[in-house]
Amino acid sequence: MKKVFRGSCTAMLVGKDATIDGSTMICRDNDAHGSIEPQRFIVVKPEEQPKVYKSVITGLEVELPDNPLKVTLTPRSNLVEGQWGSSGINSDNVSMSATETITTNSRILGIDPYNMEGLGEEDLEVITLPFIHSAKEGVEHLGALLEKYGTYEPNGISFADKDEIWWLETIGGHNWAAVRIPDDAYVVAPNRMNIDDFDFDSNDTLCSTGLKELIEKNHMNPDTGKYNLRHIFGSATVRDSEYNNPRAWYIQKLFTPDVEQDPRDQDLPFICHANKKLSIEDVKFALSSHYENTPYDPYGKMGTEEEKKMFRPIGMNRNHSLHILQIRNDVPKEIAAVQWLVFGVNTFGAIVPFYTNIEDTPATYRDTTVSFDPKYVYWLSHAMALIGDYDYDLYQDSRNTFELEAVAKFRNIQLKTDEEAASSKDIPALLTKANEELAKESYDRSIKLLGDMIELGSPKMKLSFDLMG
């Protein structure tokens, strides 16, 4: 087995009655184990998909079902450790995000050890998304694979269709549990086990065979009268209180501000309700945030230097993409699925609404190189983030204006494309063309912002000398 690299992402899920437009959204910023990990946006057609999948990390071979669907994916550019499909939407408008690395404890690992020859994050998207026709079926399909092959790591995976969102967490080597997210709720999931209260008899939960009996037989439940899976299978460490819990606290503070909570709290709720309906822009801000307007903001002025380094922010240098997988309910199904993407460091990028019922993806997102090349949006975004990080205040207005104007233009293109689809005889061709226009806008605006930042920053260089001084 090759060395396993684990990311440290932040996931967010928003039910259809909790969004401003009635869509479902599953979202995640995709963090790398290092500060650079180039990523691509691709479409894979049924005839391009293998009959047998082989994991690069473990060598495990999995025979895949017949009749795969067309899917979009956001895999790595460097395939040495495998594809890592990460996020996508299939041609039946089912979305999947895999994975959120989570936590576990020694009690469950003693009972159900990891299978180091099993499945992991590298594999899950590409062996599941092409073969499912609803969010619930995604849970059932992946759950069966986990029970059969096992896994070598703990992960959280989300699925959505136009009506439902499901969140699955792996438990030990072969067990798992999943919850249907209420339509009027949102969820924030950092790198810990997140599911708390779990009703084994509910129609809105699913789990591996015999999970309840495993808990009872091995005396695993610390609570009386309920099953809290985070208490039973998860962790509650100092690392959680500094690395994980504050991220959930901050987003819950943004959207449910009337609830007073501590950023270190080990029992922050899993299911939450916002005080307003959430938009794409709300979610993008949350998943790019760094504790703005608190003492913990690394760029802020409120806290001490110690406070600014106290908690791990959501937006950080190890972000290499952000996706919001949206299934809309106010448009025809042929144009309902949208894969909103930021490549690079989320805080410094604008999110682009790419359609997924397409024939190909734009080259500036599809062909990202392993090493720096400014022809690709991923690398442009990282260049802007690197410069912006050195003097956030200097560049903040330029960055904010860039994002405002870019997303407004993207929405305008989307609106016009939605209208044109009503009379189009070839919708995939129309949407593929729209994606090209969106990508060009994204690239051109990124180039302009980079130029503006260079012009703003050059007078501040230390290598300067005033002849009149």
- Of the candidates 166, 22, 88, which has an alpha carbon nearest to the alpha carbon of residue 355? 88
3-state class (DSSP) for residue 273: coil
Q: How many CB atoms lie within 10 A of CB 109?
A: 15
178 bridge partner residues: 168, 206
Distance between CA atoms of residues 191 and 156, nearest Å: 9
Distances from the Cα of 50 to the Cαs of 62, 82, 279, in angstroms?
10, 14, 37
199, burial (CB in 10 Å: exposed 0-12, middle 13-18, buried 19+)? exposed
* 9, 27, 207, 272: the active-site residue: 9
**What does DSSP say about strands 337-343 and 352-355: parallel, antiparallel, or unpaired?**
antiparallel
**DSSP secondary structure of 77-128:** S--TT-----EEEBTTS-EEEEEEE----HHHHHHS---TTSB-HHHHTTTT
207 is known as an active-site residue: no
Residue type, 207: C
Closest residue by Cα to residue 284 from 251, 253, 317: 251
End-to-end Cα, the chain, rounded Å = 63
Rounded to whole angstroms, the maximal C-alpha distance in the chain is 83
Nearest to 18 by CA among 328, 364, 273, 294: 273
Give me the sign of the Cα torsion angle 345, 372, 88, 240: negative
CA distance 198 to 269: 12
Dihedral (Cα; 129, 228, 255, 29), 10-degree rounding = -40
Q: Catalytic residue positions?
A: 9
